[in-house]
Amino acid sequence: MSLNRKKIIDESQKWLDIISSKKLSEHTRRQIVSETLDNFEGYYNKGFLEYRKSVTESDGFAAVEWNGSGSYFMDVLGRKYLDLLGGFGIYSAGIRHPKIVKAVRDQLKRMSLSSQELLDPLRGALSEILGEISPGDLQYCFFINNGTDAVEGAMKLARLYTGKSGFISFIKGFHGKSYGSLSLMGKAEFRAPFEPLLQDVYFVPYGDANAVEQELQRAKMVGFDIAGVMVEPVQGEAGAIVPPDDFFPKLRKICDRYGVLLIADEVQTCLGRTGKLFGVNHWDVAPDIMCLGKALGGGVMPLSAFMSTPKIWKVLEPNPFIHSSTFGGNPLACAAGIAAINVTLNENLPDKAAKSGKYLIGELKKIQKENEDFLIDVRGLGLLIGLEFIDSEFGYAIAAGLFKRGILVAGTLLNSKTIRIEPALNISKKSLDYFLEVFRQTIKSVKKGW
């Protein structure tokens, strides 16, 4: 495409004016909807338009998200939605928590990104705070921007420390979509098109510690070297699958016995999501390496981390640049992370998640009993909840029906057999009751036409 300088300056200025505008005319709002559709179709990815309920099920006008706070957001046409999805776990403190927004705004007035040369204080401060709240001897941190980056770093650290190359992962496990983390992915639909991935990864059923031990025995007998076991405390993407209570304690012992590292992927479960600060706290187990993400940035900035013990971290000291990231641990993200932890503890978010989760799961199970032929399972821990339907079509009809009625849950046209509920941890009981009422109505109405 040839560069039309004037056109691009005008176009970008138009969007800058929209961004800074306090009030938009009805005409501009509608224009934003139609331009967003055109831009996704022509320049981003048409596929999103077909598979999203916000586009296909919005009474004639696609829902283009515009503003939000707490457990609510609005689209650009002013329609209001109750957020039961929480950005798949990023909005644990709610959308735009004022204390977190303030921290980022205040830091932005001082310094945005780091020089990459001087020592930046917030990186150190957030490391210390994380070191203080993390299980066991986990103390040192490295910051990046996405969950997958945290998993990549954890894998490299495990290999470097153990001098071994293999990993054990779990069927249906999800750790991200870059090459290393994708190699640990336990779902064919995401990995098959990119094979061959890392070759020495072995998959076992989730929640089965004996299967892990058998795999390690086999590896020992044939001479495969295993560096670590990568595991989610609750399988999130797989649909909120909670392991048996003895799984993590057993896994810890097995890893020690075979000299492999236990790596907890807490990207989705960290900062209170499951009703404890970290998922592994439910079983009093300390991993050797822990990956964090999503809610760590307080729903305001992208921020992820991997952590480990002083003993393991020592291998990174001789060449601290052996793993690096330009934007990882930037001052804005660290300000958000410090504020997110402050809010999580100050507002008792893990306890709130435990209490609301218990209530919500209990009530959803009642709805399941009334609709056993369509809703086949309700499961989860804290506010990481999965609703499993008879099939993906029915699940999508429910997700879309809820959206039509102003409630957002997960679930796309491609994958809705199990839909996830991950609201802000401070969501009110009133909002939960409203959701339950609308969910009941939606099932009733969808069942009628089924």
Is 298 among the residues that bind ligand PLP (CB under 6 A)?
A: no
174 catalytic per annotation: yes
* Residue 15 or 88 with smaller CB distance to ligand PLP: 88
Tokens, residue 341: 């932890």
Is 236 among the residues that bind ligand PLP (CB under 6 A)?
A: yes
Question: In angstroms, what is the minimal distance from the CB of 185 to ligand PLP?
Answer: 10
Question: In angstroms, what is the minimal distance from the CB of 28 to ligand PLP?
Answer: 32
203 catalytic per annotation: no
- What is the Cα–Cα distance from 88 to 173, expressed in whole angstroms? 16
Question: Closest by alpha carbon to 248, among 216, 215, 278?
Answer: 278
Question: In angstroms, what is the minimal distance from the CB of 196 to ligand PLP?
Answer: 21
Is 146 among the residues that bind ligand PLP (CB under 6 A)?
A: yes
Question: In angstroms, what is the minimal distance from the CB of 296 to ligand PLP?
Answer: 10
- Find the binding residues for ligand PLP in span 78-107 (CB under 6 A): 88
Is 58 among the residues that bind ligand PLP (CB under 6 A)?
A: no
Among left, alpha and beta (phi > 0; psi -120 to 50; other), residue 271 is left
Question: In angstroms, what is the minimal distance from the CB of 268 to ligand PLP?
Answer: 4
Site size toward ligand PLP (CB under 6 A) is 15
Is 274 among the residues that bind ligand PLP (CB under 6 A)?
A: no
| For residue 244, cis peptide bond before it (omega within 30 degrees of 0) | no
Strand 375-381 versus strand 384-389 pairing type? antiparallel
Judged by CB under 6 A, the residue of 237, 247, 353, 401 near ligand PLP is 237
Distances (CA, A) of 360 to 40, 81, 237, 243: 36, 19, 19, 19
Tokens, residue 298: 């307080």
Q: In what order do the strands lie in the sheet with 384-389?
A: 375-381, 384-389, 418-421
Question: In angstroms, what is the minimal distance from the CB of 301 to ligand PLP?
Answer: 13
Is 232 among the residues that bind ligand PLP (CB under 6 A)?
A: yes
Judged by CB under 6 A, the residue of 70, 86, 135, 147 near ligand PLP is 147
* Residue 126 or 185 with smaller CB distance to ligand PLP: 185
Packing angle, helices 429-448 and 349-370, rounded to 10: 30
- Among 40, 174, 247, 248, which one carries the catalytic annotation? 174
Judged by CB under 6 A, the residue of 267, 333, 341, 354 near ligand PLP is 267
* Residue 180 or 236 with smaller CB distance to ligand PLP: 236
Is 288 among the residues that bind ligand PLP (CB under 6 A)?
A: no
* x-marked contacts with ligand PLP along 181-220 as a string, rule CB under 6 A: ----------------------------------------
Q: With contact defined as beta carbons under 8 Å apart, do 380 and 242 qualify?
A: yes
List, in order, residues 6 or more apart from 353 with CB less than 8 Å away: 92, 272, 273, 274, 275, 382, 383, 425
Question: In angstroms, what is the minimal distance from the CB of 267 to ligand PLP?
Answer: 3
* Residue 158 or 397 with smaller CB distance to ligand PLP: 158
Question: Closest by alpha carbon to 146, among 276, 333, 321?
Answer: 333
Question: Closest by alpha carbon to 215, among 223, 205, 204, 225?
Answer: 204
- Among 53, 276, 294, 352, which one carries the catalytic annotation? 294
Q: With contact defined as beta carbons under 8 Å apart, do 182 and 193 qualify?
A: no
Distances (CA, A) of 162 to 130, 182, 231, 261: 24, 21, 18, 8
* Torsion (CA) 332, 334, 335, 336 in degrees, nearest 10: 90
Question: Closest by alpha carbon to 231, among 283, 164, 297, 295?
Answer: 283
- Give the ranges where 40-97 is alpha helix by DSSP (H): 46-51, 53-56, 86-89
* Residue 146 or 416 with smaller CB distance to ligand PLP: 146
* Residue 48 or 88 with smaller CB distance to ligand PLP: 88
265 catalytic per annotation: yes
- Among 83, 208, 265, 288, which one carries the catalytic annotation? 265
Is 176 among the residues that bind ligand PLP (CB under 6 A)?
A: yes
Is 239 among the residues that bind ligand PLP (CB under 6 A)?
A: no
Tokens, residue 429: 């009981």
* Residue 71 or 268 with smaller CB distance to ligand PLP: 268
Question: In angstroms, what is the minimal distance from the CB of 189 to ligand PLP?
Answer: 15
Neighbours of 88 (CB within 10 A): 13
Question: In angstroms, what is the minimal distance from the CB of 437 to ligand PLP?
Answer: 29
308 phi and psi, to 5 degrees? Answer: -155, -175
Is 70 among the residues that bind ligand PLP (CB under 6 A)?
A: no
Catalytic residue list = 174, 265, 294
Residues of this chain that bind ligand PLP (CB under 6 A): 88, 146-148, 151, 174-176, 232, 236-237, 265, 267-268, 293
